[in-house]
A and B are shown apart, each in its own frame.
Chain A
Amino acid sequence: MLKELSKSNKYYKTIVIILLILVLGVLPNFTGSAVIRLLILTYTTLIMTISWNIVSGYTRFLSLGHSMFLGIGAYTSAILYTKYNISPWIGMIISLIPSALLAFVIGVLTFRLHGAFFALTTIAILQILMLIALHFKDITGGALGIIYLPKNDPMNFFFLDIAYYYYIIYIMLLISLYISYKIDQGFFGKSLKAIGDDEIAASTIGINTMKIKILAFIISSLIATPVGTFYAQYIGYIIPQSVFDLNLSIRIAVIGMIGGAGTFLGPILGAIIFVPADQLLTTYLSSYYGLNLVIYGLLLMISAIFLPTGVVGFIGGFTKWLKKY
């Protein structure tokens, strides 16, 4: 009886998900630009968090400089377009190479050491990249950055109608979710979880922990980098501080940790709750500057100590408790 119930549950779930995907897909036809902007912001944050989760959520090596990939994606495609007239679509793909290389190098340097070294290195690299972007003015525009004038040029990733940007980031989100789901459910994800649980035990049952961690970090970078290119095209203006942003990196980590690190749903729940909440707090409680940090800090401490799997774990535990009755 239970088996049949769960089977019909499965069909029910799939139908709901398909409906949700379709509804969100056609949303721009029915809502105003403010909602679309909020959703785009949510989607970009969510993709970054999914990317963060693939490495940090599962292996427990916290990346605190994840915005570095955003910056690489933004600057690489922007420089290739403004200097060499290469379409940002192609630039988006080319920018994957430096990101993957960077992820590889950081992994090789720090994955054998205490977790704090990885965290510190990601911060250091982020700062180095920002300083490089500031310094080499001829290439990056320095502190003034790179500006795009609004125009309609789809072949070069420019649209005047915000709806197109929505569709693009939406597709990118669906792809990221798919990759994240496959990882979570497959053997690669299970190995990652094992490494996060007990790396030594994992190595003594034949798991090459360095290789797997580095691979996870590279995949993570590949998901995050295109968001950088998107950001450059969508906002139309990039400066070092906005794309190599420590605050953004920490925010992504916080969302990932509170939402539920090392789970598929964690980043989703985290981003959906946080991005709108953060916007609300900033708009309506702007006089209480710093309140959002206080709340994040408290939530982070509480979840780190009591709920290592975040909101997802909390809901999971809650439903289990409910099932008892």
Chain B
Amino acid sequence: MENILAQAIINGVAVGSIYAIITVGLNIIFGIMKIVNFAHGEFLMIAMYIIFWMYYYLGIDPLLASPISLVISLLLGYITYKIVINRIITKEDYVQIATTMGLSLLLIGLAQLLWSPVYRGITTPYATFGIEIIKGVYMSLPHLAALLYTLGVSVFLYYFLKFTKIGLILRATAQDVIGAELCGANTKKIYLLAWILGIGITGASAGILAGIYYTHPYIGQTLVLYAFIVAVIGGLGDYIGGLIGAFILGMALSISTIYISSDLSLALAFLVFILVLLIRPSGLMGVKVVKRA
């Protein structure tokens, strides 16, 4: 019994890190640009397809191909920013949601057109390897990779935001755009950076995720929904809150599957979301979410 619980916790940590990867990207974009990116999952989805095709046609291992997925994601982020996103920065919530939704539909449609809705799986030789944490409790290599990636990104972001000049400007813009502008920040470039950073962080994980999940046009939608829930729990816009929220949710889901059936545990995730809205909409980190005058 003890081992089952311990295994569930390990699984929860693994799943939590996956949610965390996507949530961090979302939070960076919302925190700095105040845009809720409904298309966030689709960037991940496209990166996963790139990884898949490289594995399928060139035999490149997905984990090793991660740098390529990073570059592709950065590029895609840049293109979408220049063509679409920079036009909606000053517009109301409605326009931003509608536009990112449209982008999401466009990307899913393109994926279906180009690559058909068939589920693609990658089974790497090491997929079933795991390390034994304590007696009888294992963490698979792909899950370990996800956890390491999440930890690595967290450390990177922490130092980047706290100690570099650009990081300071990003944080200032997140807190108060007008103030930051008055101090000389070039908000257009900041927004571009935030967008690319958010997309890039999530997209770079495609190599890891392609080995865990099937690649198909709707995989982005599936994963991003959890990421949104996590972001709300942790506080929309706060990436540390998102990290904490991700692990909490991951473990809560994982542990609850021991006691209740798995389809209900999904409903549980959504219920937690609603509970958070009820009690503390600003999430764990207390981010302001009410409209300003």
Contacts and interface: CB of A to CB of B under 8 A. Distances in A.
A302 B270 CA distance: 32
A204 to B, nearest CB: 9
B91 to A, nearest CB: 8
B291 A199 contact: yes
A115 B84 CA distance: 20
Nearest to B288: A114
A128 B106 contact: no
Interface size class of A (residues with CB under 8 A): 35 or more
A244 to B, nearest CB: 12
B110 A62 contact: no
B117 A117 contact: no
Interface in A29-62: 60-62
Contacts of A290: 108-113, 117, 217
A253 B109 CA distance: 17
B281 interface: yes
B274 interface: yes
Contact of B97 (A115, A289, A302): A115
Given A114-B291, A115-B94, A288-B113, A132 B267 contact: yes
Contacts of A82: none
B274 A117 contact: no
B93 A116 contact: yes
A296 interface: yes
A301 B36 contact: no
B104 A297 contact: yes
B220 to A, nearest CB: 13
Interface string B83-125: 0100110011111011101111111111111001100000000
Interface stretch (B68-76, B225-233, B240-248): B225-233
Contacts of B281: 113, 117
**Chain B, interface SS category:** helix
A191 to B, nearest CB: 17
Nearest to A296: B105
B266 interface: yes
A308 B99 CA distance: 11
Contact of A297 (B107, B116, B277, B290): B107
Interface string B26-40: 000000000010100
Contacts, number: 150
B293 interface: yes
A205 to B, nearest CB: 14
Contact of B290 (A113, A121, A299, A308): A113
Contacts of A134: 263
A301 B117 contact: no
B278 interface: yes
Contacts of A60: 92-94
B164 interface: no
A123 B84 CA distance: 25
B106 A301 contact: yes
Nearest to B93: A115
B229 A293 contact: no
B102 A296 contact: yes
Nearest to A294: B109
Nearest to A131: B267
Contacts of B97: 62, 115-116, 119
B264 interface: yes
A124 B229 contact: yes
A293 B264 contact: no
B168 interface: no
Given A296-B105, A301-B84, A301-B103, A109 B94 contact: no
Nearest to A143: B263
Contact of A62 (B98, B111, B289): B98
Interface in A287-312: 288-305, 308
Nearest to B87: A305
A114 B93 CA distance: 8
Nearest to B265: A131
B49 interface: no
Given A119-B97, A121-B277, A123-B225, A289 B116 contact: yes
B105 to A, nearest CB: 3
A201 to B, nearest CB: 9
Q: Which of B84, B267, B290 has the most CB of A within 10 A?
A: B267
Interface of A: 60-62, 64, 109-110, 112-117, 119-121, 123-125, 127-128, 131-132, 134-135, 196, 199-200, 250, 253-254, 257, 261, 288-305, 308
19 contacts: A115-B93, A116-B93, A116-B236, A117-B232, A119-B97, A121-B274, A127-B267, A128-B267, A135-B267, A254-B102, A291-B109, A293-B112, A297-B106, A297-B109, A300-B99, A301-B84, A301-B103, A304-B94, A304-B102
Interface of B: 36, 38, 84, 87-88, 91-95, 97-99, 101-113, 116-117, 217, 225, 228-229, 232, 236, 261, 263-264, 266-267, 270-271, 273-274, 277-278, 281, 289-291, 293
Those 3 A-B pairs whose CB atoms lie nearest each other, nearest first: A290-B112, A293-B109, A297-B106
